[in-house]
Amino acid sequence: MASILRSPPSPQQNSCASGWDDDDPRYLGDRPAMCSLELVAFRGLQPATDPAGAASPAFDLTLYVDNGHVCSLRHCGGDVEVSYAGVPLARGRTPRFRVMGEEAVAVAVNVTGAGAVGLPQDLFRLFTAERRWGVAMLQVDLVIASQPFTRDVQLDAGQRSGCMRRLA
């Protein structure tokens, strides 16, 4: 179950009034919304040949959203997929959240591999070798605020993915 690390604003806090006007001084400091992703923890990455003893893969992610807009940003939840070399390992959903204008939020996202096929043996050997070398990369696909977002995340790095991604 995904949870929000910071409580959402109250419904009384209003987003921008209708009638967006680029010349309006209220919007002169408007910056784009940015987001990044961090792989916090993972478990259950075993070969597909041992279905009896293997646990389903699970990933704990943190989604960081920095809303540079003066208007609030709403996200109504969406699908998340974690894959390796194009093979889906886990799927889940992001929670609903709202970020007020010029604020930032960190959102916990838990993705599980219940019902996932798992990695074929030859791909698992490559995966294991890449982990030994410290270069194993996972791809995380999600939609945030109606914008597709894809990030490669290094499995054993314990740091945020690349740079922040601009949202519309």
Query: Model pTM greater than 0.75?
Result: no
User: pLDDT digits over 72-109, tens only?
Assistant: 888 888 899 999 998 899 999 999 988 888 889 999 99
- What are the angstrom distances between the C-alpha of 42 and each of 39, 57, 156? 8, 7, 9
pLDDT at 75: 84
Tell which residue, 86, 84, 88, 81, has the closest CA to residue 109: 81
The answer to whether 141 touches 83, Cβ cutoff 8 Å, is yes
Q: How many Cα neighbours within 13 Å face the side chain of 32? A: 8
Structure confidence at residue 43 as a pLDDT band (50, 70, 90): confident
Which single residue is written with the structure tokens 């910056």? Answer: 31
For the domain spanning 27-156, the CATH number is 2.60.40.10
With vertex at residue 20, the alpha carbon angle to CA 18 and CA 23, rounded to the nearest 5 degrees, is 145
Q: pLDDT of 45-64, one tens digit each?
A: 765 555 555 567 899 999 99
Q: Which of 123, 164, 148 is nearest to 34 (CA)?
A: 164
So where are the chain's domains?
A: 27-156
Element (H, E) at 29: none
Condensed to tens digits (0 to 9), the pLDDT of residues 17-37 reads: 333 344 445 555 667 788 888
Question: For the chain, how many helices (H) and strands (E)?
Answer: 1, 10
Nearest CA among 37, 5, 58, 47 for reference residue 143: 37
pLDDT at 137: 92
